[in-house]
Amino acid sequence: MSQEIPYKIYLSEDEIPTQWYNLRADMKKKPAPLVNPATLKPLTAEELSVVFCKELVEQELDENTAFVDIPEEIRNFYKMYRPSPVVRAYCLEKYLDTPAEIYYKFEGNNTSGSHKLNSAIAQAYYAKKQGLKGVTTETGAGQWGTALSMASAYLGLDCKVYMVKCSYEQKPFRREVMRTYGATVTPSPSNTTEIGRKILAEFPGTTGSLGCAISEAVEVATSTEGYRYVLGSVLNQVLLHQSVIGLEAKAALDKYGIKPDMIIGCAGGGSNLGGLIAPFMREKLRGENDYRIIAVEPASCPSFTRGKYAYDFCDTGKICPLAKMYTLGSGFIPSASHAGGLRFHGMCPTLSELYDQGMMEAVAVEQTSVFEAATMFARVEGLLPAPESSHAIRVAIDEALKCKKTGEKKKILFGLTGTGYFDLVAYQKYNDGEMGDYIPTDEDIQKGWASMPKVDL
């Protein structure tokens, strides 16, 4: 096609997908099921329904339906901030002097500042439909809690957020956005739950972890009438909702006949990457097309590149189901000096299985090089990226620079998951030259593994 490619490729409102795509449907070998830690048997819908909303449980367990209708109400909410644009990073290409074409799908164009709203509204919708009073959740960096607060306010649901303590202290403004949307925000570990009190007694002075906060939120959901727990990443249902990112991206690129050679995304629990690659991975799984798919994780929390593929707990309190995933062990707590998000000890089972099958690659990057990329991107492309997103920017830049050496005109698509306005403490550290590159030793990682369940599944 000779058509000039615009800076921004927009779809119209009517082109927002009407269905989500379930990646598992096209996987011959499916991801391993969630397992009950007491019986070591796959969890049933009944067991899961104690913790999660009914329709979300169905989505969680359904590995065969490829396309799931997006309810009209959710699509209407999507219209407030979607479709999100695919941007051609002309300025970055010019700055790097690369023959590569760089595209990014920008998900930060809503108040929560990230892609998390795509699943938050879906989960809040099903909770409301079930007649629940409220939802509980954890939040690390704060984007998920913000997104869920927004969705809950929109639908009139109560929202209780357990926020990892170091982040609660570092990001008071994030907390205020959540409170403005009506959520209750508690720093975790807290003395409001049994598990929180136990963790505090065992590790006084701990700055918390996502795993701890999950335990507290689940405890509150299961012990409070009319409440369920919702999770912003890792689960299959979240990947399903996030497929809206990839479906839109592919539709936009298809308009101009652009086929990316590689697709790059940051990976915390794996939801944005799972969503971005969904329709591309579909073609790859069906043998229709090939793409290089690259997950980027922090060197300080390297679940793919240094983790084990095994059943593990999803939370520190060990009350959640076991999931088979690439993991550092639920007892692994990344260094508090790590500022860049993506702190979860494991990776979602679907991406873990695809990685194990060799369908995708992973690289770990150090945080100062991530902030270097973030700063370069902010200066030439104008957007201040979230530190998490900047992991993907780092590798997109590295790949574009490889093309400069070889002269290859590769087409690179990466996910720009959010904006970094609430991460200025991290930017400040970087600007002051006070940011370090903490990389766990093999011993640290062995310690994390020691916390894994002693089961052979």
Ligand X SMILES: *Cc1c(COP(=O)(O)O)cnc(C)c1O
Q: What is the DSSP letter of 198?
A: H
Minimum CB–partner distance for residue 198 and ligand X (Å): 27
Name the residue nearer to ligand X (CB basis): 102 or 374: 374
Among residues 144 and 309, whose Cβ is nearest to ligand X?
144
Q: Nearest distance from residue 271's CB to ligand X, in Å? A: 3
x/- map, 131-170, ligand X, by CB under 6 A: ------------xx--------------------------
Among 300, 389, 390, 451, binds ligand X (CB under 6 A): 389
Q: 67-96: which residues touch ligand X (CB under 6 A)?
A: none
Q: Taking the complex as a whole, how short is the minimal distance between the CB of residue 237 and ligand X, in angstroms? A: 12
Long-range CB contacts (within 8 A, 24+) of 250-253:
250/279, 250/280, 251/11, 251/15, 251/17, 252/9, 252/10, 252/11, 252/83, 252/85, 252/86, 253/9, 253/86, 253/103, 253/413
Find the shortest distance in angstroms from Cβ 291 to ligand X. Answer: 18
Q: Which of 102, 92, 100, 97 is nearest to 373 (CA)?
A: 92
Among 33, 269, 279, 440, binds ligand X (CB under 6 A): 269
Residues forming a β-bridge with 292: 262
Continuous segment of H or E residues that includes residue 281: helix 271-285
* DSSP structure class, residue 437: -
Report the residue number, 210 or 258, with the smaller CB distance to ligand X: 210
User: Which of the ranges 1-9, 156-164, 267-275, 320-328 carries the binding residues for ligand X, by CB under 6 A?
Assistant: 267-275
Span near ligand X by CB under 6 A; candidates 44-52, 158-166, 184-192, 269-277: 269-277
268 lies in the binding site for ligand X (CB under 6 A): yes
Three-state SS at 197: helix
Amino acid present at 428: Q
Of 84, 114, 215, 350, which lies in the binding site for ligand X, with binding defined by CB under 6 A? 114
Q: Of the candidates 388, 393, 440, 452, which one interacts with ligand X according to CB under 6 A?
A: 388
| DSSP letter string, 99-155 | SSEEEEEE---STT-BTTHHHHHHHHHHHHHTT-SEEEEEESSSHHHHHHHHHHHHH
- Indicate the Cα dihedral angle 280, 286, 288, 290, nearest 10°: 50
Which residue lies nearer to ligand X by CB, 274 or 403? 274
Q: Is 229 helix (H, G, I), strand (E, B) or coil?
A: strand
Q: Decide: helix, strand or coil at residue 27.
A: coil
Binding segment for ligand X among 2-10, 200-208, 300-308, 381-389 (CB under 6 A)? Answer: 381-389
Among the listed residues 272, 330, 352, 390, the single contact to ligand X using CB under 6 A: 272
At residue 44, what are phi and psi to the nearest 5 degrees?
A: -90, 165
Is 415:342 a contact under the CB 8 Å cutoff?
A: no
The helix/strand/coil state of 400 is helix
Distance CA 31, CA 336 (A): 32
Judged by CB under 6 A, the stretch of 124-132, 183-191, 216-224, 270-278 that binds ligand X is 270-278
State which of residues 125, 417, 422, 448 lies at the interface with ligand X (CB under 6 A): 417
- Tell me the window of 183-191, 318-326, 366-374, 385-393 that interacts with ligand X (CB under 6 A): 385-393
Site for ligand X in 326-365 (CB under 6 A): 341-342
Residue 266 CB, nearest distance to ligand X (Å)? 5
Residues numbered 225 to 244 that lie near ligand X (CB under 6 A) are 233
End-to-end, the C-alpha distance of the chain in Å comes to 51
Which amino acid is located at 300 in the chain?
Answer: S
Which residue lies nearer to ligand X by CB, 101 or 268?
268
**Which residues of this chain interact with ligand X, rule CB under 6 A?**
114, 116, 143-144, 233, 266-272, 341-342, 386, 388-389, 417-418
